[in-house]
Structure 1
Amino acid sequence: MSDPIAARPTPDRAGIRVICNDHSGRNSREAEAIDRAMKVLGPEAELRHVKGRDIAGAAQAAVGEGVGTVVAAGGDGTIMAVASALRGSGCALGILPLGTFNFFARGYGIPEDPESAARVIAAGHRRKVDLGAVNGQLFLNNASIGVYPAILKERETVYRRWGRRRIAAHWSVLKTFWRFRRPLKVEIEVEGQRRRFRTPLVFAARSAFQLEHFGLQGADCIRDGKFSVFVAPNEGRMGLLSDALRLAVRQMRLGEDFELICTDRLTIHLRRAQQLVACDGEKFTMRGPLEFEMIRDAFEVIVPEEAKDKVQPGGRAA
C-alpha cells in the first residue's frame, strides 16, 4: 500500500480529525472499517468516538482547535451533524461512509470501501456544496414531515432486533405504512401563494442521486439548485402501501402518487404548534411555521478528483 497523500487544508489549518458515532464503534464490522481507514490516513489523523448527541459539539471543537479536515465516520445523520458545525469555518469535510444507504457520499462518488474512502480524504480535493435548511437546521438529502418520522421511529426498533440492514429499513417502511392513520393538514406557501393539503407526507429532497436511485422525478430541479418537494395524496394506509410497492419497483406516478413542487424557498404552515421533522434520518421537534431555504456554498466537502468539477449531484455546477 502506498503512503497516504497529505490532506490540503487552508494555510491556517492542518491535520485530520475523524469523528465516529459511538454506535458505529460498537459494531465489529464498522469498527474494522474504521481501523482500516485510519491505517491509510496515517499518524496525522486522530480518531474520536463520541455519542450521537455530542457529534456536532466534537466537530465544533475541532474547528476551534484549527483542524484542517474533519471526517464524519458514519451514516448521513452523522455527516449532517458534522457538516452543520463546519459551515463557514474554512474546515473541509471528509466522509467515511458507514451508514445504511450513504446517499450523500454515493452522490459525490465517494467509495463505500473504507480504504478507498480514506484515500479520497487524504488526497484532499475539495468542492463547495449547497445544502437545504429547515428552520435553520441543515440537511444533506431530505427533510420531511408526516409518515417518514414515524418510519424512523419504527426503524430504530427493527435495527435493534435485526441489525442495520437495508432489508430491515425497507421492512420498517411497510410496517409503518400499515399502521399510519393520521394525515396532516397543512398549507404550503411558495412565492406568496398558499395551497391547502391533507397529506400523510411532505418530503423535501436535495439529493438528485437519491431520487434517481428510486426512479423518482425531480433530479433536474435539484441540479438547478432547488428543492424537489413531494406531497403525497391522502389515500389511507392501503394507498400508502401501494405507493411503497411502486416506489420499490420504481414506478411512482407524478400527479397520481404524488404532487411535485420545484422551488428554492417554501413555508409549511401547520395546524399544531410543534411538528416532528425528519432530517437525513434524524428527528427534530420544531415550532411552526416550517421555513425551508437554500444555503449556498455552505461548506467544502472532499471528493474524488474526477468529481470535483462535475455538476453537483445536489445542486448547481461547481
Structure 2
Amino acid sequence: MREPICVLANAGSGKKSAARIDHLTAPLRAAGLVHEVRLIRKGALIPAAARKARADGFATVIAAGGDGTVCSVATELAGTGTALGILPLGTFNFFARSLGIENDPEAAMQQLLTGVETMAAAGEVNGKLFLNNASLGLYPALLERREAAYAKWGRSRWAAYWSGLQVLATYNRPSRMTLTIDGVVQVRHSPMIFVAQNAYQLEEYGMLEGVDLIRAGQLAVYIAPELRRWQLLGFALRIAVRMALPYRDFTLIGAEAVQIETRARRRTIARDGEREKMAAPFAFRTLPDVLTVILPVPPTIPEEA
C-alpha cells in the first residue's frame, strides 16, 4: 500500500467498536506503515471524512465497514487516483467479496498489506456512486421500514420479514415511470426498478442473466411488472427463494445509461443499502475504471515438476 494511509472506520458507538478497530489495524503498526485511524461515529459523516482524508494528502484510504461505508468513501475517491482499501465489517460485503477480499476482517487486512492496485468500475446515479446496486420504488421503502423495525425490536430475521409485509400491505399502485435507455424512450408502470452493476451479487442471488450484461460493461436494469398488492407477495417470495426468472417475473435490460422520470420531483433512492432523497430525473450510468482499488495478490500455483 502507498503511504500515508488513512483508515476511516464506521465505529458505530461504544468502546468495544474502537477496541476492535485498534486490534484490526495492529498489522499496520507492526509493518511500520505511516497511517492514521479516524473513527466515524455516524454514517452521515463518512463522506465528509473521506473528502478530508483526500485533502489531507493520504495516498491510500481504507474503508472499514459494510457496503454502505465503502460506497460512501468510494464516491469521494472516484477519479482522484487515491487508492481505496477495504476492511469488510458489514453483513454482506458484496463489493469486497467480488474483488476476492476475505470476509474475515483479519484475513482481509493481511491481504491489504500485500495487495496490488488496479482499476475498477462503478455505477453512478445523479453524481453518486454505487458499487452493487441502486433502486427506486418499493425497495427503498422496505429498507426504511426495516431500519425502523430493527430500532424497535433489534436486528432479527423476523423483524425483517415483518417490515417487508408492512410495506406490501401499504402498497397502493405502481408508479408511472418514463425511461430513456441508451437514447430509447419507453413508459413503464412498475412498483420498483433495480439497477445492478455487481456481477458477484447477482450470482449470489441466482440472477445469472444479468451477469453477462455487467461483464460486458453494462448495467443490468431489472423492471418489476405492474402488479396488484396480492401479486407482490408471490413476486417477493420468488425473489427470496431465487426462483424469479427474467421475462416472466421482471423485464431485464442491459444499458450503459438509463434516465428515469417520475411524477414526483423528489424520490428516495437506495444505493448499496443506504437511502437518500434525490431530485428527478434520475440518471444512472456505468463508469469504467473510475476507482483505484487494492486487490489481494492471487495465490501462486506451484509448477509441476
| 3-state SS in 1 of match to 2:101 | coil
Q: Answer yes or no: is 1:46 the counterpart of 2:36.
A: yes
8 Å CA contact 1:199, 1:234 repeated in 2: yes
Q: If the length of structure 1 is used for normalisation, what is the TM-score?
A: 0.86
Describe the superposition over 1:199-239 as per-residue Cα deviations: whole angstroms up to 9, x where unpaired. Answer: 11000001111111111120110111110000001212322
**Structure 1: unaligned runs, 5 residues or longer:** 1-6, 308-318
Q: If the length of structure 2 is used for normalisation, what is the TM-score?
A: 0.89
8 Å CA contact 1:215, 1:247 repeated in 2: no
**Distance in structure 2 (CA, Å) of the matches to 1:26 and 1:148:** 31
Partner of 2:8: 19
**Distance in structure 2 (CA, Å) of the matches to 1:172 and 1:105:** 28
What is the 5 A alignment of 1:104-253?
104-164=95-155, 168-169=159-160, 172-216=163-207, 217-253=209-245
Identity %: 43
Describe the superposition over 1:1-22 as per-residue Cα deviations: whole angstroms up to 9, x where unpaired. Answer: xxxxxx2x2xxxx222111124
Per the TM alignment, residue 175 of structure 1 is displaced from its structure 2 partner at its CA by 3.8
**Distance in structure 1 (CA, Å) of the matches to 2:90 and 2:165:** 20
**Distance in structure 1 (CA, Å) of the matches to 2:114 and 2:121:** 22
Describe the superposition over 1:4-51 as per-residue Cα deviations: whole angstroms up to 9, x where unpaired. Answer: xxx2x2xxxx2221111242x5484x5554233111222633211122
**Distance in structure 1 (CA, Å) of the matches to 2:277 and 2:175:** 15
8 Å CA contact 1:174, 1:244 repeated in 2: no
| 3-state SS in 2 of match to 1:189 | strand
8 Å CA contact 1:33, 1:114 repeated in 2: no
**Distance in structure 1 (CA, Å) of the matches to 2:60 and 2:226:** 45
Partner of 2:254: 262
| 3-state SS in 2 of match to 1:233 | coil
Q: Answer yes or no: is 1:88 the counterpart of 2:79.
A: yes
Q: 1:223 to 1:200 in 2, by over 3 A?
A: same
Of 276, 283, 306, the residue aligned with 2:275 is 283
8 Å CA contact 2:174, 2:227 repeated in 1: no
Of 13, 16, 21, the residue aligned with 1:34 is 21
Q: 1:158 to 1:32 in 2, by over 3 A?
A: farther
**Distance in structure 1 (CA, Å) of the matches to 2:264 and 2:256:** 25
**Structure 2: unaligned runs, 5 residues or longer:** 300-305
**Distance in structure 1 (CA, Å) of the matches to 2:293 and 2:15:** 26
Partner of 1:311: none
Q: 1:94 to 1:73 in 2, by over 3 A?
A: same
Q: 1:166 to 1:64 in 2, by over 3 A?
A: farther
**Distance in structure 2 (CA, Å) of the matches to 1:27 and 1:182:** 46
8 Å CA contact 2:121, 2:290 repeated in 1: yes
